[in-house]
């Protein structure tokens, strides 16, 4: 019995350690606070360990990120006051990601350091940011994102499209502000 538990712990730790940077990174991008992110990640690890015997064995990373996201939605987001920006902008036309000036996308990333990209990402409303993080940074499928965020796949598609569009605009704004792009280059 004890050996079984030790094996379980070792197996869990082996898998969890591999995905922990993604867990902490996601927590950090959601909470935007190192302290909250560490608390959230730690709580997610404990919850996952507690439920590890019920893990279906398919995609551990997606399972962990679902726990983190659910914890964040249920706990941390409840602390926030006022309406969520993301919820207000679910409807309406989807802006294209590309711009008419045919601005080379590499310019956006070549000149910005990681922290600046993180800042631009932080400007994306939360629900959209969550979808972008889980898809573009962590590589989850639409179904996995839908499971993690408890929304239909159609909503995931919509949030991703809107989130990427807003992120692109935020990166452009940053590039213009820093002088990498000329004002009005994309107008």
105 binds another protein (CB under 8 A): yes
- C-beta of residue 40 within 8 angstroms of C-beta of residue 74: no
Write down the least CB distance from residue 179 to another protein, Å: 19
Q: What are the φ/ψ torsions at residue 58 (nearest 5 degrees)?
A: -85, -75
CA distance 154 to 146: 9
75 binds another protein (CB under 8 A): no
Tokens of 37: 């992110």
Q: Nearer Cβ to another protein, position 5 or 182? A: 5
- CA geometry: angle 41, 137, 19, nearest 5 deg: 40
Select the residue interacting with another protein from 160, 166, 170, 181 (CB under 8 A): 160
Select the residue interacting with another protein from 59, 118, 123, 180 (CB under 8 A): 118
Q: Which of residues 131-150 bind another protein (CB under 8 A)?
A: 132, 135-137, 139, 141-142
Alpha helix (H) residue ranges in the chain: 2-31, 34-50, 60-71, 77-79, 85-88, 105-110, 114-122, 126-132, 142-149, 153-178
CA distance 64 to 74: 15
Q: Which of residues 16-45 bind another protein (CB under 8 A)?
A: 16-17, 20-21, 24-25, 28, 34, 37-38, 41-42, 45
Write down the least CB distance from residue 150 to another protein, Å: 19
CA distance 136 to 39: 24
Give the residues lining the site for another protein (CB under 8 A).
5, 9, 12-13, 16-17, 20-21, 24-25, 28, 34, 37-38, 41-42, 45-46, 49-50, 94, 96-99, 102, 105-106, 108-109, 112, 114-115, 117-118, 121, 132, 135-137, 139, 141-142, 157-158, 160-161, 164, 167-168
């Amino acid at each position: 019995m004890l050996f079984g538990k030790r094996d379980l712990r070792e197996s869990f730790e082996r898998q969890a350690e591999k995905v922990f940077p993604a867990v902490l990174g996601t927590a950090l991008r959601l909470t935007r606070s190192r302290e909250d992110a560490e608390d959230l990640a730690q709580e997610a690890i404990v919850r996952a360990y507690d439920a590890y015997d019920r893990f279906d064995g398919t995609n551990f990373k997606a399972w962990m990120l679902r726990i983190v996201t659910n914890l964040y939605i249920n706990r941390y987001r409840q602390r926030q006051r006022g309406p969520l920006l993301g919820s207000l902008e679910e409807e309406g036309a989807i802006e294209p990601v590309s711009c008419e000036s045919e601005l080379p996308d590499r310019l956006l990333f070549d000149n910005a350091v990681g922290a600046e990209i993180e800042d631009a990402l932080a400007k994306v409303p939360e629900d959209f940011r969550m979808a972008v993080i889980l898809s573009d940074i962590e590589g989850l499928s639409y179904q996995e994102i839908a499971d993690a965020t408890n929304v239909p796949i159609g909503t995931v598609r919509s949030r991703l499209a809107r989130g990427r569009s807003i992120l692109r605009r935020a990166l452009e704004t940053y590039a213009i502000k820093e002088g990498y792009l000329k004002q009005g280059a994309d107008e």
